[in-house]
Structure 1
Amino acid sequence: MITATTPKGERRRQALVAAAAELLLEGGFDAVRHRSVATRADLPLASTTYYFQSLEDLIARAVEFSGNAELDAMRRRVGEVTHRRRGAEATADLILDLLVGTDGNDEFARGQLLARYERSVASARHPELRDVQLRLRTQLEDLLADVLRRSDRVVRGEQLRRLVAVVDGAVVAALTEPEPQPRRTARGALLELIDVIAPATPQQTILHPHTSGNRVGTEH
């Protein structure tokens, strides 16, 4: 790859990455080819090999581009979450807002979910994608941990991965149904386990003055 050291070169490189990301979302990995990316970016065919070492390199950058865009949207959503004690349903809904979306049942939302899981599966075969996926997954887990803390729930690293696995499994299963409802399916699975995976933090207790020593009040 020749480094895009000029502003024009960097703009072209980013245009190719964005074009590849769009094609990934629309048609999966089979849709990303040198010619299709160059055509979508309205650039010469040779530009893909000029700015990227290989098609795999371009795809990895496109996956990172898409993943970062999703994470940015998730961060905005997390920023709106107030810190208060939440029950199982409210906590599960916040988690699903991040992992599935506010409406996982329309065509566009399904396309985004399919693209996300295709990226995960592909990363098992392609070393270029593996490192990207690991970085994206780490940032996702950090956001989930933040949501759980804001919901006054215990955060444990190994349980975060279990939480993601529960939702991922339910969503993938739902996407194969004739009338997929990934959010509803994932919500049912998550509600069964949320209080085990991320239990509410123990409430602090204090002894109120002027009461007998065996009467305990709860601090809210």
Structure 2
Amino acid sequence: MKALTKKEITAFYGALAAAMPEPKGELHYVNPYTLLVAVVLSAQATDKGVNKATGPLFAIADTPQAMVDLGEEVVREYIKTIGLFNTKAKNVIALSRQLIEQYGGEVPENREALETLPGVGRKTANVVLNIAFGHPTIAVDTHIFRIGNRTGLAMGKTVRAVEDRLEKITPKEFTLHAHHWLILHGRYVCKARKPDCGLCVVREWCHYPEKTA
């Protein structure tokens, strides 16, 4: 399959922007710290499931110190409906301690620093940098990986390859929101099993050869 041309890429993003002028992530949070925790908890879990668990948790612990004061056992009880909750509870307490000890309780605005925190990888760091600090990062999840390859927007055999390609080809005026546009489009329209091509605002520029009616 041929990759989208520069003109097609601009039109592709322009259509997404027109459809969703102010895209928002679906994880609930109250500050950069709770965003970080929510993203760590969202691995192999739905945003809806994470929000259900973190609503009560963040109501009593929205800072690293408050979370540490709760303790791992209590955190585990709050998030037990989320997959891998035992490991995630350990990571939440450990990353909270590290934030207190190394960063004065603040979330660092730095990818390398974020990636040293327990449970935080490149994708999580990119989400936090984008949403909390307004960096033009693109966190490639399964939805974005699928869209990049299916449409011809940014093809690659690995998540990192797709991320690098997106950063290279995404026009500057679209970089801040690209992450959200693509995730939401993949979640609700360009779905894994059967994309809703009839509802797709970028259908005209998509190179997918098996479009649905």
Task: Please say which structure displays the higher CA radius of gyration.
Answer: 1
Tell me, yes or no, whether TM beats 0.5.
no
TM-score (norm 1): 0.25
TM, length-normalised to structure 2: 0.25
Q: Which has the higher helix share?
A: 1
